[in-house]
Structure 1
Amino acid sequence: MIGRTISHYKILEKLGEGGMSVVYKAEDTKLKRTVALKFLPPHALGSEDEKRRFLREAQAAAGLDHPNICTIYEINEVEDQTFIAMPYVDGMDLRHRIEQGPFKVETALEVSIQIAEGLQAAHERGIIHRDIKSANIMFTGRGQPKIMDFGLAKSMDWAQVSKEGTTVGTVAYMSPEQSGGEAVDHRTDIWSLGVVMYEMLTGNRPFRGDYEQAVIYSIVNEEPEPVTAVRTGVPVEFERLIFKALAKNPKHRYQDMEDLLVDLRRLKAELDSKELLSRSGIRVKHRKSRVSAVLIPSLLIAAVAIVAVYFLKFQPGEAEGAPIPIAVADFENETNEPELDGLSGMLITSLEQSRMLSVLTRDRMFDYLDQMDKNDVTRIDERMGREICREANVNVLIAASIRRFDELYTIDLKAYDLRENKHLFAAKEEGRGKASIPSMIDKLAKKTREELNEQSVAIQRTSENIADVTTPNLEAYQQYFLGEQYINQLKHKEAREAFQRAIELDSTFALAHYRLAYASWWGHEPEDLQRAQLQRALALVQRLPEKHRYLLRAQNAVAVEGLQEGVKILKEMEKIYPNEHEMIYNIGDYSYHLEEYEQAEKYLKRALEMVPKHERALNHLTVTYRAMKDYDKGIEIAKRYADVTRSPEAYALLSDFYINKGEYETALNIAKETFEQHPESFPVANQIVRGYLMKGEYTDAEAILEPFTSDSMDAKVRQGALNMLEAVCMYKGRYRDALSTADRNIEGFFEAGDSISAAQKHITKAFVYAMGWNDVKSAEAELAKALQYQDKFAFSKKSTMLMYDPDREYWMNIACISALLGRAEEAERIIEERLSDSKAVWIAQFLVHGAKGEYENAAALADTILTSGQDWQKQIVHFQLGEMQYENGELDRALVSIDGLHESGLVYGPRALLYPISMNLLGKIHEKKGDSRAAIRSYEKLVSLWKDADPDLPLLQETKSRLASLREAETQ
């Protein structure tokens, strides 16, 4: 490009390159001046319509004439190359200038004013920049700042930029609404200028992260560190106006650039006259009387002493600076208007914005009522509130009442010190009409925070109007309030209906949208419905209280990016809300599904310390101990779970632990006794079937399953029962019945739109064909059917309900069966291309080593799998290793390996196929050892087990032949 002439511009040198443009220094051969040419790649402009729109907007920007805006000389297209000609600024951009160190306060203020003046001129012409950042501010040789790239931002294909990985710097300056893909107005430039001002004063951006989504998360959810905490000598007023520019809600920002300029210019005038006090400790000296010199310090000492005593009284004492525990009783509603019954929830939400208070939420209060065996309580009056506070070790109780006189509403609030059993303070608010009630709640929350000695700057910074973060519609709020009550009672269907009614009354009620998605999650609604509800809630995320923003973004992260991302967000939340029960439980829940069991145990135990009868925490801690194989602790928690809930699911888990300990009779007794009372419970039936299978009572197992496979049964239950019936058929050698059962399940998966399960079921059929008849052709046909679902995996692979990666599972199974069929090279290719970054590679590599006859490599990898692999992987290793050891003449080791398969408590999965086959292998091992009696017993066991098996199974025919030969040899 250098040396070429484009139009009438001779390219002199390359100045720089970004994700969406390349800039060259050039000579304007017509006007004999030095210019900068910015070339835009074709993909940046999209379609022809988008290109025309870009040209119109760039031409409008070219009409801007202001000393702080870099003028656009020309927009042109030559040889399919679109470029913009502008003055060549021989200077440094603001980004590189900041890298040399923070600006002096006076310099930062002067630069801010000039940038704001340039933006104001653009806004007056209806032009929004949309990409204000330090890299887009250039300084001339005289130090004058100029705003670059007007007219570019709106037309850029930012999705393409993101793909090229160049926008982390750009994203850091985006407003919350812009980073969320929402429509923006001139206030997005005000936000971005706030970021630039913060950066000039501190040397750092206010919102940071290692990758784009982390930065966006910080922008939407986190507050920047105060400027005055990063650097001394910065006027408090400068910090205030920066934080006002950085208000997450556009309504709370400066509403136009002129308002910001007024404050900036006033600040400059005050600095120039040396009249402003700053947090630096530097003060303008004033002469003062002897009285004030003595009296004021004395008063300050007294005030500090009073505050210290107060905080010593109201801090719980576990840690210095710990939040004050506080609870809110239900309002005494004297208006006879039911839509005002839920006002305590509004006040709780408003108070939760405080970092100084630890507010006992209403659902936590009901958890304590449950612990107190007061399950029948539906309303928390002052008396009941006091009892709950004593149980929860809460220091302060708020009680309030609302009355009505014609159109005048009055709320009276009283605060009580429950340790000293005395009245703390009272507050009263009045307003005309119901529409005034949310603002009355705001004022009462502010008054409460002030009375509890929270600093005014903290109150101002963390206070949002309750109507903005809930709803101004009190009928809608009452429906939301009811929905929360239903969630506390685990009535998810009723909760969904209440939240839906709230949304019908106020479609912008973000909290109701979020809780609807939450209730749908726990009610196991279809995933596409959950996603749609999450997206609606996310679109309104700015109207959520901060705590719920974290919870919503965590839930969405799980749906979109996986559980690990959800945990990251919740751990950020933990820094601000360390005692939020739902957050603590969710970290434990997600950690369990991520197989991070020690972390799961830690957080689930914390959740139970807070709410000892929390059913979901009891359930997840129980299954966590099962995964950890800590059966004694598991039995202890399972018994506690059963005592709390008396649910069949709890007793099913208790039975499960005894099966895993090998105590089959105890397990069966628990399960059978429970099944008599709950014959509809499939989890209990499952444990009975497991017990029967471990004892070899296959016919009894099949009889238990039969009713659950009926077409009239719930689809999920039927699918589970068919899976188990399929395994029973495999144990009994009825492979054709197993295949037809799998087909029944595939039909059900089709009806439910469950492509993942359908694909896995075809893979199971492939294994049956391969292991049962060595039928490679049929196995390949089933794999081809599974492959057709691949385009649907990406949509579901990290969904809200799916706790594994189906794409990885699919290719792992393909690699495994390829290796079993002797196609080692194909399996190795799949491992390299699809599995190299996951634990799934272990089992596939093990089978490849076996297929290639690399016994030592296989044995070494077997140790890793048997130590750290999953149970189903261990079953395969036990069997395949036994076969290798048999072929290698290591007969005693082979017997140990097969024993490992037989002792596995996982009765489904590979064991259903491998256990019967292992009987044949055991017989051959004993034959080779010269123990014909042991060999006969093994063969007889298989023949007996397979008395109703498909007669054409090669292994059955071989076993009968070997058995006949041994028996004949015995008679001779």
Structure 2
Amino acid sequence: MAAEVAKRAGVNWIVTGKILRLEPNYVLTSQIEHAVTGEIRNTQSVQGEAGEDLFNVIDKLTTEIRMDLSLPEEAGEEPDQSVADITTHSIEAYRYYLEGMDYLNKGYGTEAQASFEKSLENDSTFAMAYLRLASADIPTTSKEKKKMIEKALHYSERSNKKEKMYIESYHAELIGDESGALKGYQSIVNAYPDETEAYYSLGRLHFYCGNVEPALENLTRVIEINPLDKRAYAALAHFYQTLGDIEKSIWAINELISIAPDEADPYDTRGYLYAYRGNVNKAIESFKESVKRDPEFGSLSGLGHMYLFKEEYENAEKCYRQEVASENEYRRAWGRLHLASIPLYQGKLNEALVNLDRVISEDQLDGFEGYPHVWKLNLRSLVHLEKKNREQALSDARRFIDACNKIAAVEDVYYDDPIAMLLARNKEISEAERYLNSLKDKIQDSSAEKMSWYWLASGWLEMEKSNIDAACVHFEKANEFHKGFIFRYSLALAYLKANRLGEAVQVLEQALKIYDATRAFYAIYAVKAYYCLGLAYEKSGSARKAAEQYQIFLDIWKNADPDLEALNDAREHLSRLKGT
């Protein structure tokens, strides 16, 4: 594989090495070979003193390699820093760090977290391990991530120039300074033109800031340097999907699978891409391939969602219960949340509330307060709103806010918008406005991704204030970046209230082709979308199409709680249409 990467990237020479002896002293060997022909150019061997640190011996070997490589003059001017001085003196710490990086590259955030924590148990001053624990891929709260990046900064004096630049750039990103982060990552690639991680970070961040061209340019550069970089292909698959370029999205995901056919992550990614395009059966096939490779990876949730949408509730429950049986606390907590989707999708709101009470208690018994826990409180408030239990809905909204404040860093913005949206839905207009004003101050001139959630919450606020035209404008802005189910559904609802029926029909039809994770979470709306489409068709004069949508809605909610307003209204509308 190394030869293939080198050939495609235009590299001439490959350096390989091994530890020949551990005791009584280290003996290290290496060789320089031609990337294509395999011709051995030079070999090196160094022997450490008895008791000498491994990293000191590595430094000696590095010197030998540089002498044999005939590097350009500029390389000779670079300072020779000790490996131990810029990483760690602990072999075990470094081993666990490399193990964590391997897990991260395969998409195993929880396992990576455990490895980085073990690394720090062996060297509590290892700055790069702290940096990795602050990564978005590690399943921890924003408060914990902030703590980790601050520690990385604190110990960064032991890091080399490049590592310090990464730490400072990611710190800027984590506190919401996207402009500073972009400048930092750009400085890295200016100084180190083949640094794929920095190009990847630039691509990812540019995309979320709405800068499509530089995003794709930087990710393409990653592949030019390393044609087997899995992260770049996964990102491109998602980005092209978001841009509506299905052909390129499929190309990227197939490239990823060809690179890592035995890993779970590529099939999981492909499953969600198929689901987003409305191809539930192909999504199921991909999720099954992922589960086959590793049942603990996390694809059981996606597989369960697809069965939910197909109304195969026993299969969905089986998947979710397998999640609950996981040894990982985050997967258990997600599984508990997903179980509530099954009765919600069927309109069994009373049963869902009983289930939510139980799983919230189970989280508490687990001592778990993370992301999937707080969303159970959010969901319970939404269920009470649907049942017109305003007092209980507001009580749960308050609990949701308290839970968010426990786990969110002060400058964190990812909880403000759902808090504002939930307050607005509960008619707490002034408080919702305060949250949104505070959020706008935090994220002004920020990424398109963050702004899209702000506009979504603002749209719901205006809708609750009966400013429907303003709500439409806000939802339209939100949909410029995000086009997932809840974004499309919210926009369609505003169009319907504004009597913009043609647009409501178009957006609802689009929403009902999207089977993403938000549709499973908002399971009530996932089904009510058929009811809303029926209303839009009926008001447009398309009686037959309206009747079809009402019937789909009523079929899914055939065992729903009998007192639900939408259920009884749909029956009346369908009866009236059949009678004409």
**Normalised TM-score (structure 2):** 0.77
Answer yes or no: is 1:904 the counterpart of 2:517: no
Aligned counterparts of 1:907 and 1:390: Cα–Cα separation in 2:
48
Q: 1:793 to 1:683 in 2, by over 3 A?
A: closer
Deviations, residues 204-229 of structure 1 (Å, cap 9, x unaligned): xxxxxxxxxxxxxxxxxxxxxxxxxx
Match of 1:738 in 2: 352
Q: Specify whether residues 519 and 339 from structure 1 end up closer, same or farther in structure 2 by C-alpha distance, changes over 3 A only.
A: farther
- What does residue 786 of structure 1 align with? 400
Q: Name the structure, 1 or 2, with higher relative contact order (CA <8 Å, separation 6+).
A: 2
Q: Is the contact between residue 257 and residue 266 of structure 2 (CA under 8 Å) also seen in structure 1?
A: yes
**How far did residue 817 of structure 1 move?**
1.4
Of 567, 570, 573 in structure 2, the residue corresponding to residue 959 of structure 1 is: 570
Matched, 1:914 2:528: no
Residues 656, 667 of structure 1: 8 Å contact kept: yes
Q: Does residue 774 in structure 1 map to residue 388 in structure 2?
A: yes
In the TM superposition, what is the alpha-carbon distance from 1:573 to its structure 2 partner? Answer: 1.8
Residues 148-227 of structure 1 aligned to structure 2 (within 5 Å): none
Q: Is the 8 A contact 1:882 1:898 kept in 2?
A: no
CA 612–921 in structure 1, closer or farther in 2 if over 3 Å, else same: closer
Residue 402 of structure 1 pairs with residue 46 of structure 2: yes
Structure 1: distance between partners of 2:53 and 2:324: 55
Provide the rounded CA distance (Å) in 2 between the counterparts of 1:870 and 1:864.
Answer: 11
Q: What are the superposed Cα offsets for residues 738-769 of structure 1, whole Å, 9 maximum, x if unpaired?
A: 33344445345544553555444323322222
Within 5 Å, which residues of 2 pair with 1:680-759?
Answer: 680=295, 683-694=298-309, 696-699=310-313, 702-711=316-325, 714-747=328-361, 750=364, 751-754=366-369, 757-759=372-374
Q: Give the secondary-structure state (helix, strand or coil) at the position aligned to 2:33.
A: helix
Distance 1:623 1:789, change over 3 A: same
Query: For residues 878-929 of structure 1, what are the alpha-carbon distances to aligned partners after superposition, in whole Å with 9 as ceiling and x for unaligned?
Result: 12312331xxxx5555433433432334363475223433444444455556
SS at match of 1:895: helix
The AA in structure 1 aligned to 2:337 is N
1:835 matched to 2:448: no
Q: Which residue of 1 aligns with 2:60?
A: 441
Larger relative helix fraction:
2
**Taking structure 1 as reference, are residues 852 and 938 closer, same or farther at Cα in structure 2, changes over 3 Å only?**
same
- What secondary structure is seen at the aligned counterpart in 2 of 1:579? coil
Structure 2 vs 1, CA of residues 440 and 718 (structure 1 numbering), >3 Å: closer, same or farther?
closer
Specify which of 944, 954, 957 is matched with residue 555 of structure 2. Answer: 944
Change (3 A) 1:482 1:815: closer
Contact 2:86 2:158 in 1 (8 A): yes
Q: Offset at 1:397?
A: 6.6
Counterpart in the other structure of 1:619:
234
The alpha-carbon deviation at position 786 of structure 1 amounts to 2.0
How far apart are residue 784 of structure 1 and its match? 1.7
- The match for 2:379 is 764
Equivalent residue for 2:26, pick from 336, 340, 343: 340
Secondary structure, aligned partner of 1:386: strand
- Match of residue 41 from structure 1: none
**Structure 1 residues 159-216: Cα deviation after superposition (integer angstroms, max 9, x where no partner):** xxxxxxxxxxxxxxxxxxxxxxxxxxxxxxxxxxxxxxxxxxxxxxxxxxxxxxxxxx
**Deviations, residues 478-529 of structure 1 (Å, cap 9, x unaligned):** 54664566457548589658845863xxx7xx5x452475378598475677
- 1:330 matched residue in structure 2: 17
For structure 1, the 5+ residue unaligned runs are 1-323, 343-379, 410-431, 799-804
Residue 601 of structure 1 corresponds to which residue in structure 2? 216
The answer on whether the counterparts of 2:271 and 2:283 sit within 8 Å (CA) in structure 1 is yes
Question: Residue 569 of structure 1 is aligned with which of 184, 187, 203?
Answer: 184
Deviation at 1:690, TM superposition (A): 4.3
Q: Distance in 1 between matches of 2:54 and 2:569?
A: 85
Higher percent of residues as strand: 1
Distance 1:440 1:652, change over 3 A: closer
| Local SS of the residue matching 1:634 | helix
CA contact (8 A) 1:517 1:533 kept: yes
> Does structure 2 conserve the Cα–Cα contact (< 8 Å) formed by 1:554 and 1:566?
yes
Partners of 1:469 and 1:444 in 2: CA distance? 16
**Shift, 1:848, TM fit:** 4.5
Q: Does the 8 A contact of 2:140 with 2:370 survive in 1?
A: no
| 1:351-430 mapped onto 2 (5 Å cutoff) | 381-382=30-31, 385-388=32-35, 399-403=43-47
Give identity over the alignment, percent.
17
- CA gap of 1:386–1:791, structure 2 versus 1, over 3 A, is same
Q: Is the 8 A contact 1:731 1:915 kept in 2?
A: yes
Instruction: Indicate which of 235, 251, 254 corresponds to 1:636.
Output: 251
Name the amino acid aligned to 1:629. Answer: G
Where does residue 812 of structure 1 map in the other structure?
420
Q: 3-state SS of the aligned residue for 1:569?
A: helix
What amino acid sits opposite 1:906 in the alignment?
D
Any conservation in 1 of the 2:30–2:45 contact (CA below 8 Å)? no
Shift of 1:931: 6.1
SS of the residue 1:612 aligns to: coil
Report matched runs for 1:189-588 at 5 Å: 328-330=15-17, 337=23, 340-341=26-27, 381-382=30-31, 385-388=32-35, 399-403=43-47, 441=60, 444=63, 448=67, 454=73, 459=77, 462-464=79-81, 468-469=85-86, 476=90, 478-479=91-92, 482-483=95-96, 486=99, 489-490=102-103, 492=112, 496=116, 499=119, 503=123, 512-515=126-129, 518=132, 524=138, 537-560=152-175, 565-588=180-203
- Residue 278 of structure 2 is matched in structure 1 by 662
Distance 1:538 1:560 in 2: 13
Provide the C-alpha distance between the structure 2 equivalents of 1:436 and 1:648, rounded to a whole number of angstroms: 34
CA spacing shift, 1:579–1:541, aligned 2, 3 Å: same
Which of structures 1 and 2 has the bigger CA Rg? 1
**Which whole-Å CA distance do the structure 1 matches of 2:62 and 2:274 have between them?**
58
Distance 2:264 2:59 in 1: 48
Q: Which amino acid aligns with 1:916?
A: V
Partner of 2:265: 649
Distance 1:691 1:381 in 2: 51
Post-superposition offset of 1:876? 0.7
Out of 483, 497, 505, the residue aligned to residue 895 of structure 1 is: 505
Q: For 2:183 and 2:248, locate their aligned partners in 1 and report how far apart those are by CA, in whole Å.
A: 28
Q: 1:956 to 1:450 in 2, by over 3 A?
A: closer
Partner of 2:409: 795
Conserved 8 A contact 1:655-1:666: yes
Measure the CA separation in 2 of the matches of 1:652 and 1:462: 44
CA distance in 2 between partners of 1:531 and 1:859 (Å): 36
Amino acid at match of 1:658: Y
Provide Cα deviations, 1:594-646, integer angstroms capped at 9, x if missing partner: 66554443333322332222333333333333333332212112122222222
1:867 to 468, 480, 488: 480
Amino acid in structure 2 at the alignment position of 1:884: A
Offset of residue 709 of structure 1: 5.0
SS in 2 for 1:733: coil
Q: Contact conserved, 2:425 with 2:461, CA < 8 A, in 1?
A: no
The answer to whether the 8 Å contact 1:332/1:401 transfers is no
Whether the aligned pair in 1 keeps the contact of 2:346 and 2:559 (CA below 8 Å) is yes
Q: Secondary structure at the match of 2:132?
A: helix
Pairwise CA distance, 1:577: 1.2
Match status 1:880 vs 2:494: yes
Deviation at 1:469, TM superposition (A): 3.9
Q: Is the 8 A contact 1:749 1:757 kept in 2?
A: no
- Alignment RMSD, CA only? 4.5
Mapped to 2, the partners of 1:942 and 1:435 lie a distance apart of: 67
Q: Can you list the C-alpha shifts for 1:694-721, whole angstroms capped at 9, x where unaligned? A: 5x43535534434335355533223333
**TM superposition shift of 1:674:** 5.6
- AA partner of residue 189 (structure 2): E
